[in-house]
Amino acid sequence: MCGIIGAVRKSDVLPVLLDGLKRLEYRGYDSAGIAVIANKSVSRVRSVGKIAALEQAIQTRQVLHGTTGIAHTRWATHGPPTEINAHPHISEGRIALVCNGIVENHEEIRQKLMSEGMRFVSQTDTEVIVNLVSREIRQGKDLLEAVKETTSMLEGAYAIGVVSADEPDRLVGARHGSPLVVGIGDGESYIASDMSALLPVTRDFFVLENGDIVDIQENRITIVDQSGRTQSRPVKTSSLSLEAVELGNHRHFMSKEIHEQDQSVSNTLEGRITGTRILEACFGNRATQVFDRIRSVQIIACGTSFHAGLVARHWFEEHGIPCQVEIGSEFHSRIHAVPEDSLVVSLSQSGETRDTLSALEHAMESGYAHSLAICNVPDSSLVRNSELVLMTHAGPEIGVASTKAFTTHLVALRLLVIALGRRFRMTETDEARLVRELRELPKQIRAALEIESQIRNIARQFVDKHHALFLGRGIHYPIALEGALKLKEISYIHAEAYPAGELKHGPLALVDNEMPVVSVAPNDRLLNKLKGNIEEVRARGGKLIVFADSRTRLRSQENLQVIHVAPVDSSIAPIIFTIPLQMLAYHVGLIKGTDVDRPRNLAKSVTVE
């Protein structure tokens, strides 16, 4: 997910652009660049790698001083991460543009422009946008009209910022799918992918809506829609402080990260879905060619990421896609019968988990056809060693016990299921339904967080406990595994998870009135069977805590405490039902007095086998 910042200021724009880029680093990038308008000309510096490399290049060339400019951090999709593919892109030496997103019809536009004599130098989809703007300006339009005409020709999801050497105190931005905010200062204005990039210079901002085009000139900001009608957007004052971008008002990073999950999920979806479809290019510029070949999926992961893979196996196979899931340390220690045209999907928050890296290396040596990394850290080893990449954009996860990385892994896997499902038995109607569910997901996560006070009360029952049992059926058995893992990590209570149907095959012997039994009860086709398992526990004196969809009609009674979760579509219910289990582990840890952010003996990134 790229990062954009732009500014029209009274003073030198370079320090603000560089600082903004640094604040956008969490979004992930492999190259960066800045363009500044000075003396009615465009000066640009780009570099591959970290922003420090860009700063060094700027110092070496001693350029880029002016009062209007744009800057960008790029995560490569169309074209590899090279300087020539880095943003900003320039057309005919006069127009500079940055873009966050994917233009689906770029190839069609490219061919048309080339037939008109337009020259292309990069492999990016973004270059078609800046060349379109340049063409419209040559036909007599000003910068705003040129951008408006250009965006009417684009398909996909994007946010752009454009400047022109011929209008040196003007910046035009446009949004369609990918977010863009406008910051308002004292006689100066800004655009950015998110408000965190602008906190040092302003706290007043407004958010552009889809289809908005903003025209920023000295002391004037105008918003128009695609038809040219003037629009107004409410100005807000950010309550964030620079410190709040770190721990903020939360006692612990784990709490902060649990409560960030709605935004992390939004970030992971940003620029990757339209109204009814996903944009396949978000997986990389070769994704379509690779996906056309795939006949099965092999997921490799460790810990929490492994549980995400177990959930995804249900999703893949529901749409006819064969899928296997294995723990990284087990995968790389044995010989494999390799399926033809199989995609290896490696999951890791850090991208440096040694067992997962070894498993990926072993998979490619064994003859697996293609590889895809789902990861939260750009430039990690896993990302560098994989053919295709999908960044989760969860933002920095400081707490050792993974929370938002887990939910964003599930969202990323859901996108992959849709991309591959098109080639199996998923219909356009199915895809539209799944995309709609993903769009609703952040709101449903916020609803799940609202039951925290009830969970805080439940957590007190664990103060003297040493063991706990977690139950789930079908796709929710991995969620039970994840809930048990979180409780172990944070509170040091021994916890185990079982498929609820396995109770009578052994675990029922452990049930007594001293061991809490925790279960999740979504409103799905396995509900009646789960109710039977609940009664098996109650009949033996077990004390149950059940997080249930409010439509299940489960109610609290003797030895059964029911906490209702807002209704959710069954296919994405695993993502929602993991939220209360995270909060339960957190509050039990608080009561136990453990270091919830840094549990004993554990590390955030396991870099040894």
Q: 122 phi and psi, to 5 degrees?
A: -115, 175
Separation CA 180–CA 103 (nearest Å):
16
Whether the pLDDT of residue 244 is over 50: the answer is no
Map tokens 């105008």 to a residue: 222
**pLDDT band at 607; cut points 50, 70, 90:** very low
Whether the pLDDT of residue 299 is over 90: the answer is yes
- pLDDT tens digit sequence for 4-58: 999 999 999 999 999 999 888 767 788 999 999 988 899 999 999 989 999 999 9
CB 490 within 8 A of CB 458: no
Whether the pLDDT of residue 78 is over 90: the answer is no
DSSP per residue, 163-191: EETTEEEEEEEEEEBS--EEEE-SS-EEE
Confidence at residue 154, expressed as pLDDT on a 0 to 100 scale: 95
* Topology of the domain covering 452-592: Rossmann fold (3.40.50)
Q: 129 phi and psi, to 5 degrees?
A: -70, -50
Q: How many CB atoms lie within 10 A of CB 220?
A: 10
Q: Is the dihedral of CA 9, 10, 12, 16 positive or negative?
A: negative
Assigned token pair, 99: 């873009």
Separation CA 469–CA 132 (nearest Å):
61
Confidence at residue 1, expressed as pLDDT on a 0 to 100 scale: 59
Mean pLDDT of the 79-97 span: 95
Closest CA to 573 of 588, 557, 552: 552
List 565's β-bridge partners, or say none.
549
Separation CA 599–CA 514 (nearest Å):
25
Closest CA to 348 of 365, 371, 324: 371
List 93's β-bridge partners, or say none.
none
Mean pLDDT of the 398-410 span: 93
- pLDDT tens digit sequence for 122-138: 999 999 999 999 999 99
**Prediction pTM value:** 0.80
Map tokens 């029209």 to a residue: 8
* Topology of the domain covering 253-448: Rossmann fold (3.40.50)
Residues of the chain with CATH 3.40.50.10490: 253-448, 452-592
- pLDDT tens digit sequence for 174-225: 999 888 999 999 889 999 988 888 988 999 999 898 899 999 997 899 999 9
- pLDDT tens digit sequence for 474-532: 999 999 999 999 999 999 999 999 998 888 888 788 888 888 999 999 998 888 888 88
Q: How many CB atoms lie within 10 A of CB 139?
A: 10
Set 2, 282, 302, 375: catalytic member: 2
**Is-catalytic flag, 112?**
no
CB 351 within 8 A of CB 386: no
Q: 50 phi and psi, to 5 degrees?
A: -75, 165
- DSSP code of residue 470: E
- pLDDT tens digit sequence for 560-584: 899 999 999 888 999 999 999 999 9
Set 22, 465, 531, 604: catalytic member: 604
Q: In terms of DSSP H, where are the helices of 390-476?
A: 404-421, 428-449, 452-459
Separation CA 368–CA 362 (nearest Å):
9
Separation CA 356–CA 361 (nearest Å):
9
Assigned token pair, 260: 């960030």
Please name the helix (run of DSSP H) or strand (run of DSSP E) that holds residue 539, with its range, or none: helix 527-539
Query: Could you tell me which CATH number the domain at 3-237 has?
Result: 3.60.20.10
| CA trace torsion 191, 194, 196, 197 (10° rounding) | -40
List 563's β-bridge partners, or say none.
547
Closest CA to 391 of 146, 7, 28: 28
Separation CA 51–CA 55 (nearest Å):
6
Is there a cis peptide before residue 88, judged by omega within 30 degrees of 0? yes
Residues of the chain with CATH 3.60.20.10: 3-237
For the chain, the farthest-separated pair of C-alpha atoms sits apart, in whole angstroms, at 83
Judged on CB neighbours under 10 Å (0-12, 13-18, 19+), 250 is middle
Separation CA 577–CA 567 (nearest Å):
11
**Is-catalytic flag, 282?**
no
Assigned token pair, 428: 């356009």
